[in-house]
Amino acid sequence: MLFIFISFALLLSNKCSAISQHCMSDFSIRCYCGEEEYINKQQYVVNCTDTGFTSAEMLQRLPPQTEVLIFTGNNISELPLNILGTQNNSNLRIIDMSNNHIRTIRGKTFHHVLNVERLILNHNEISISSDDPTHHHPRIFSNFENLVELHLTDAFADNSPQGLAADLHDIFVSSDLSQLRKLHLEQNEISQFKDPNVFCDLPNLQDLHLGQNALQGVHFELSCLKHLRFLDLERNLIFSLDEEGLSQLDLFPLRNQNLTIDLSDNPLTCNCDELYSWLKKTKVNVRNKNKLHCRRTLQDISPHCESILYLSPIVFDPIHKNLTLITVLFLALCCSILLNIYSNRVFLRNTFTPALHAVTKKVHYTTIGKPEDPEMEV
């Protein structure tokens, strides 16, 4: 029994030592350093979540075995140069710096991040405006040569959506993110991309997340993305998709690419002829297709008006539309004629009755005066 107790104590001591020996005083007791399961894998994690740091200076002495850095919920408005120091962080694979009130990231902030595959900067206030040279650093991600995932959900300071889209394009061009597979740009108030080729400098992009913005359609180039497999457009301001946008999407099945698109929770209108027809015949996988709803009028704010797929085809078919219109007009004309006849029935009776009697008498007299055929003698 004593042996078991001593063994347990030694094991616990070694574990505690493993947890704390690499978490130096710079990180304070508020951070955790050690092996733990992260994304279904045992990894060495440095976790400083909601620690209230106002400086990121301690990250320059990051333990060299660190594979995952979680530095979130702090108050670091400006990331310093060489934030991770000058050592070679060859083991580092994931950096999460969400929710830190970050406003400025300089071109020389991140170095020695060659093997980082996932960078998360969600829920910050990053300024990348070209109108302010002190904040416009298009090469901020240029050292992430093997970056696979870039998370920028609600990451930017409020400015003009058009300006933000243009500045993002500068970053994609200048940072050479040729290995990027997943890009998250949700909740950034993006309404349009001034340059339609904004994503063409991300040749290996597979998943493009543009949900919860203010886009009104697919007005940007997709054909250049030879590996695209998922396009997220949920909760935008799409009333309908035009023929050009739908043709772009249909290009992927023609190239034997399996494309999935999400159009959920957009204010689609019920007179969207092209979208209705496209949904019926497209080989693109439309996520939650049966849950797509539309509004009869723009003033209708009900979130679930009518399911597009269950609307009558007559609503959309131009031939049926014309036949329906002709039928309605014909019935209206008939009703108008009948109503006019009924309203003028006295006048019509007084006018046509004498003429009718005259015709009848003439026929009668003609019949009386006609000689009978002589009888045939047998």
Q: State whether 166 and 73 are in the same domain.
A: yes
**What's residue 8's pLDDT?**
45
Last residue of a domain, one of 299, 316, 333: 316
Q: Which one is predicted more confidently, 122 or 374?
A: 122
SS3 annotation, the chain: CHHHHHHHHHHHHHHHHHHHCCCCHHHCCCCEEEEEECCCCEEEEEEEECCCCCCCHHHHHCCCCCCEEEEECCCCCEECCCCCCCCCCCCCCEEECCCCCCCEECCCCCCCCCCCCEEECCCCCECCCCCCCCCCCCCCCCCCCCCCEEECCCCECCCCHHHHHHHHHHHHHHHCCCCCCEEECCCCCCCCCCCCCCCCCCCCCCEEECCCCCCCCCCCCCCCCCCCCEEECCCCCCCCCCHHHHHHHHHHHHCCCCCEEECCCCCEECCCHHHHHHHHHCCCEEECHHHCEEECCCCCCCCCCEEHHHCCHHHCCHHHHHHHHHHHHHHHHHHHHHHHHHHCHHHHHHHHHHHHHHHHHHHHHHHHCCCCCCCCCC
**What's residue 251's pLDDT?**
94
Q: State whether 295 and 338 are in the same domain.
A: no
Range of the domain at 40: 21-316
pLDDT tens across 7-58, in order?
444 444 444 433 444 577 778 788 999 999 999 999 999 999 999 999 999 9
Q: State whether 91 and 51 are in the same domain.
A: yes
Specify the amino acid at residue 153.
T
Q: State whether 273 and 143 are in the same domain.
A: yes
Euclidean distance between CA atoms 70 and 94, whole angstroms: 8
In-domain check, residue 6: no
Q: State whether 267 and 312 are in the same domain.
A: yes
- Residue 325 binned pLDDT confidence (cut-offs 50, 70, 90): low
Euclidean distance between CA atoms 242 and 239, whole angstroms: 10
Section 257-284 average pLDDT: 89
In degrees and rounded to multiples of 5, residue 335 shows phi and psi of -65, -40
In-domain check, residue 3: no
Q: State whether 179 and 262 are in the same domain.
A: yes
- Residue 349 binned pLDDT confidence (cut-offs 50, 70, 90): confident
Bin 144: left if φ > 0, else alpha if -120 < ψ < 50, else beta: beta
**What's residue 9's pLDDT?**
45
Euclidean distance between CA atoms 9 and 147, whole angstroms: 42
**What's residue 58's pLDDT?**
92
Percentage of the residues of the chain whose pLDDT score is greater than 70: 77
Euclidean distance between CA atoms 200 and 162, whole angstroms: 18
Q: State whether 312 and 340 are in the same domain.
A: no
Q: State whether 302 and 332 are in the same domain.
A: no
Q: State whether 267 and 342 are in the same domain.
A: no
pLDDT tens across 187-205, in order?
999 998 888 999 999 999 9
**What's residue 167's pLDDT?**
85
pTM score, whole prediction? 0.76
In-domain check, residue 364: yes
Q: State whether 355 and 268 are in the same domain.
A: no
Percentage of the residues of the chain whose pLDDT score is greater than 90: 51
Q: What is the CATH number of the domain that holds 54?
A: 3.80.10.10
What total number of domains does the chain contain? 2
Q: State whether 328 and 310 are in the same domain.
A: no
Give, rounded to a whole angstrom, the gap between the first and last alpha carbons of the chain: 150
**What's residue 359's pLDDT?**
57
**What's residue 170's pLDDT?**
87
**What's residue 209's pLDDT?**
98
- Residue 145 binned pLDDT confidence (cut-offs 50, 70, 90): very high
